[in-house]
Chain A
Amino acid sequence: MIMEITIVRTLLSILGITLVVGLNAVFVVWLERKVAGHMQYRLGPTEVGPAGLLQTVADGLKLVSKQIIFPRSADTPIFILAPIICLVPVFVALLPVPFSENIQAHELDVGLLLVIALGLLNTLGILLAGWGCDNKYALLGASRAVAQILAYKIPLLLCILPIILLSGTFSLREIVVAQDHSLWFALYQPVAFLIYLVAITMETNRSPFDFAEAESELVAGFHTEYSGMMFSLFFLAEYTYMFVAAAIASVLFLGGWLGPFFPGPVWMLLKIYFFLFLMMWFRWTFPRVRVDQMLSFGWKILLPISLLNFLLTAGVMAAL
């Protein structure tokens, strides 16, 4: 009996996650194009569906129907594997994300650690993509992506640690529950919140830190040689990754599903899309940072401040 429940639950989770990934991609790409359009005195997509909502579906269909071109000198197995390695971890990373008290694919005691660990795999996918297709632009893009990991990952972790201290758990659900009785953690940890925001922008390769695919420098960076369905997998991975990062941010800092009037999932989605909108806002406002500037920004500004913030938090908590 328990066995059967587990199977049903697993199937439902897979279905749910696939739905979230698919619908999120359709919506976020549309939103991004609308936001970009209106920030630039344009309209964005208007033709397919109401207000252009189905534009992404049309684009997706076009991409699926296109030929996948394999460069002659590409390392074919790696070339094929790279987009899959990019996409699969973000699927798995959605497992422990709670959308309300009961809507969660799988409750894990170490949910946060799982998400952080899976986040690193994305860079592996980018590295493989850059290496596998034997293109210099792609290789440069991939090497940039690898070079920046530590510069954002360590500040990112140092921003999460104070939250762990405050809530005393690694479970994403418990972290939200801990915020039920107090204020949202963003108010206790404004510095960590800001740095986390910058770090996830770096982590998801979004402008102004998008030099892994810097268009004006590297044509399309690591996915220069990818076309058709394989390109859209990268695209899907990127937008899902943004979704996961935003979901974790709202769980850690803005109290997840908590909020008055509306049911939990609505609040959760509102907060997630608030973060996604912020990231779009960044992208359509700022020029791109240079690689070495981003590294020194990570090491010289983000790291010391987040470390200081963590030590301060730990000290205050020990004193209380």
Chain B
Amino acid sequence: MNRSYAKDIATGLASLLTGMKVTMTTMLTKGHTVEWPREAAQVPLMFRGHIQLVANKDNGFAKCIACGACARACPSNCIEVKGAKPEGAKKKSPTFFMLDFTTCSLCGLCVESCPVVAITFSRDYALAGFELQPFAGMDLLKDVASPFVEERNDI
């Protein structure tokens, strides 16, 4: 019998056994599966959910001044803002703030462009549904984030 023939078979077999050892060790170690939705997922501070308006600390209304910078910055035109100046107020405030989440790509340019830091990312990660409507027209004025959302670095 050819020597290399026997040697090939032996090394081949050995390599197969090494591979099988790896899978067996894996089988005996515990995985890192998070059994969502039975367990809550850990969401980092910087997580980018859909955008949210930040409330003013004093009165709880949205901080937004309806300048429209976010709508202009958006590459996919998914933000629509209308604002009006209430009587006696110094600044404009938003009367209409609609997000079309179906075209949003979560790039964060709106958050970055906001001159008064009135937009933030929500940390809502369960963004799935059976219907288009709740995402196609998200009325952000209805759900204003608390002013005490944890401070983020930047973005």
Contacts and interface: CB of A to CB of B under 8 A. Distances in A.
Interface of A: 35, 38-43, 46, 281-282, 284-286, 301
Of B26, B27, B29, most A-chain CB atoms within 10 Å: B27
A286 B26 CA distance: 15
A285 B31 contact: no
Interface of B: 9, 16, 19-20, 22-24, 26-27, 29, 31-33, 35
Contact of A38 (B9, B22, B27): B27
A39 B32 contact: no
Contacts of A282: 20
Contacts of A40: 26
A301 B9 contact: yes
B9 A35 contact: no
Given A46-B35, A301-B9, A41 B20 contact: no
Of B22, B24, B31, most A-chain CB atoms within 10 Å: B31
A42 B29 CA distance: 10
A42 B33 contact: yes
Contact of A39 (B27, B33, B35): B27
Contacts of B16: 285-286
Contact of B20 (A43, A281, A301): A281
A43 B35 contact: yes
Contacts of A42: 31, 33
A36 to B, nearest CB: 10
A286 B31 contact: no
B87 to A, nearest CB: 58
28 contacts: A35-B27, A38-B26, A38-B27, A38-B31, A39-B23, A39-B24, A39-B26, A39-B27, A41-B26, A41-B29, A41-B31, A41-B32, A41-B33, A42-B31, A43-B31, A43-B33, A43-B35, A46-B35, A281-B20, A281-B23, A281-B24, A282-B20, A284-B23, A285-B16, A285-B23, A286-B16, A286-B19, A301-B9
B150 to A, nearest CB: 31
- A-B CB proximity, top 4 nearest: A41-B31, A38-B27, A39-B23, A285-B23
A46 to B, nearest CB: 7
Nearest to B16: A286
A94 B4 CA distance: 42
A284 B24 CA distance: 10
B82 to A, nearest CB: 47
Contacts of A41: 26, 29, 31-33
A75 to B, nearest CB: 41
B35 A285 contact: no
A59 to B, nearest CB: 20
Contacts of B33: 41-43
A43 B32 CA distance: 9
A35 B26 CA distance: 10
B74 to A, nearest CB: 38
